[in-house]
């Protein structure tokens, strides 16, 4: 029996049959061996079936794959749950966890063999509540590693500032190792997208100290989303980021300027998406028009504060003015920018 404490690794699994073996094998091959591996498998509910034994059915071969690995390694526990979203699945994993520390490896990603050991060593060595590593962004045609940088000891306000500036780690849970006590009474929302963003602020604040080592140890698979989902994600981002900024500024009011610039960017992105994809089109629903008016109201309301905010860039100020007074120009510039990105992808 290992003299090191048990670490629970929670893996959310839903329609990832193609990627799942690599994810599970990366957890089983960790150099830190005292692991509890919780495979939380989402299954589709079949309300038309009366027999309770078959009322939930796997959406793919996910469950069969998990069972084969569980037969070989007693560290694996399978949790079957109705597919109600990532937040609900993460909560099921937290409720079942028995480890002193908690990490996450999603079912379509994978980890370097020493990721858990590295995170744990840093957490203990720096007397931190959360340990963070860097990542590889895995595209279909390339792998991009986070830039190397010195290890940093951080307070919650420093972590909030880093997230808002986009200069290091972000909202995700899968590049972090947490003391399990951080999640006492803290759960992910089960009725929202981007569930990490509604929890990570409170988790960072509870940690007290965070150690961040940018060495890339987690492989995040960047999967192409449909255009409609990308548009919707801008709206979800803005809703979640508003909550995050409110909480962060409550912890440290000095973050007000950078939070203001962060949210202005979010709202302008939503406006650009509406101009480019919805305005005047068949899918220009009343819901989207209502959201558009809300975003416009926001950028109007921050007009007086922008001039005295050193964090708001000149380009953001110009975009705001175009959104208010020359939306056709903003639409043209946005369309040209999107076209350039698409052309660049063709030649990569």
CA dihedral for 146, 158, 211, 237, sign (positive or negative): negative
d(CA 209, CA 158): 10
> Is residue 130 scored above 50 in pLDDT?
yes
Helix, strand, or coil (residue 155): coil
CA separation, residue 20 to residues 7, 24, 61, 107, 299 (Å): 21, 6, 10, 5, 43
Residue 30's nearest CA partner among 121, 163, 97, 91 is: 121
Look up residue 318 and give its two tokens: 């110009």
> Is residue 307 scored above 50 in pLDDT?
yes
d(CA 252, CA 146): 27
Which residues, at least 6 apart from 133, have a Cβ–Cβ distance to it below 8 Å?
Answer: 115, 118, 119, 175, 176, 213, 214, 215, 216, 217, 218
pLDDT score, position 347: 53
d(CA 271, CA 265): 10
> Is residue 339 scored above 60 in pLDDT?
yes
91-103 confidence digits (pLDDT tens): 999 999 999 999 9
260-304 confidence digits (pLDDT tens): 999 999 999 999 999 988 877 766 788 889 999 999 999 999 998
pLDDT score, position 311: 98
230-248 confidence digits (pLDDT tens): 678 999 999 999 999 999 9
Residue 48 binned pLDDT confidence (cut-offs 50, 70, 90): very low
d(CA 303, CA 325): 13
d(CA 45, CA 59): 9
How many CB atoms are located within 10 Å of the residue 206 CB? Answer: 18
Question: For the chain, what percent of residues have pLDDT higher than 90?
Answer: 82
Instruction: Measure the CA dihedral 92/106/158/247, to 10°.
Output: -40
Which residues, at least 6 apart from 252, have a Cβ–Cβ distance to it below 8 Å?
Answer: 156, 157, 160
Helix, strand, or coil (residue 149): coil
> Is residue 223 scored above 90 in pLDDT?
no
pLDDT score, position 153: 98
> Is residue 47 scored above 60 in pLDDT?
no
For all residues of the chain together, what is the average pLDDT?
Answer: 91
Which residues, at least 6 apart from 271, have a Cβ–Cβ distance to it below 8 Å?
Answer: 292, 295, 296, 299, 323, 330
> Is residue 312 scored above 50 in pLDDT?
yes
pLDDT score, position 53: 45
pLDDT score, position 167: 95
Helix, strand, or coil (residue 311): coil
- Average the pLDDT over each of 83-87, 246-250, 338-342 and give the range with the smallest value: 338-342
């Amino acid at each position: 029996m290992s003299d090191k404490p048990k670490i629970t690794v929670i893996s959310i699994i839903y329609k990832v049959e193609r990627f799942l073996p690599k994810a599970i094998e990366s957890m089983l091959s960790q150099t830190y061996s005292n692991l509890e591996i919780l495979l939380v498998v989402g299954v589709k509910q079949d309300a038309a079936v009366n027999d309770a034994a078959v009322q939930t059915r796997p959406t793919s071969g996910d469950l069969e794959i998990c069972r084969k690995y569980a037969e070989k390694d007693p560290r694996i526990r399978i949790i079957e749950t109705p597919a109600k979203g990532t937040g609900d699945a993460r909560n099921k994993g937290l409720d079942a966890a028995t480890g002193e520390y908690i990490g996450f490896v999603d079912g379509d990603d994978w980890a370097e063999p020493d990721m858990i050991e590295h995170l744990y060593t840093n957490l203990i060595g720096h007397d931190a509540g959360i340990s963070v590593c860097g990542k590889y962004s895995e595209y279909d045609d390339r792998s991009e590693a986070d830039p190397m940088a010195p290890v940093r000891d951080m307070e919650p306000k420093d972590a909030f500032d880093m997230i808002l500036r986009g200069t290091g780690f972000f909202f995700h849970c899968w590049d972090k190792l947490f003391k399990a006590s951080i999640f006492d009474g803290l759960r992910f929302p089960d009725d929202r997208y981007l569930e990490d963003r509604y929890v990570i602020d409170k988790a960072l604040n509870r940690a007290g100290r965070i150690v961040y080592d940018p060495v890339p140890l987690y492989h995040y698979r960047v999967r192409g989303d449909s255009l409609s989902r990308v548009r919707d994600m801008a709206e979800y981002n803005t809703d979640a980021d508003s909550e995050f900024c409110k909480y962060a500024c409550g912890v440290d009011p000095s973050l007000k300027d950078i939070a203001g610039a962060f949210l202005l960017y979010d709202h302008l992105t939503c406006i650009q998406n509406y101009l480019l994809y919805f305005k005047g089109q068949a899918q220009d629903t009343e819901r989207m028009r209502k959201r558009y008016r809300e975003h416009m109201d926001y950028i109007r309301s921050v007009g007086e504060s922008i001039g005295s905010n050193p964090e708001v860039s000149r380009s953001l100020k110009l975009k705001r003015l175009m959104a208010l007074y020359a939306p056709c120009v903003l639409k043209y510039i946005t369309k040209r920018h999107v076209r350039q990105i698409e052309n660049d992808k063709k030649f990569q």
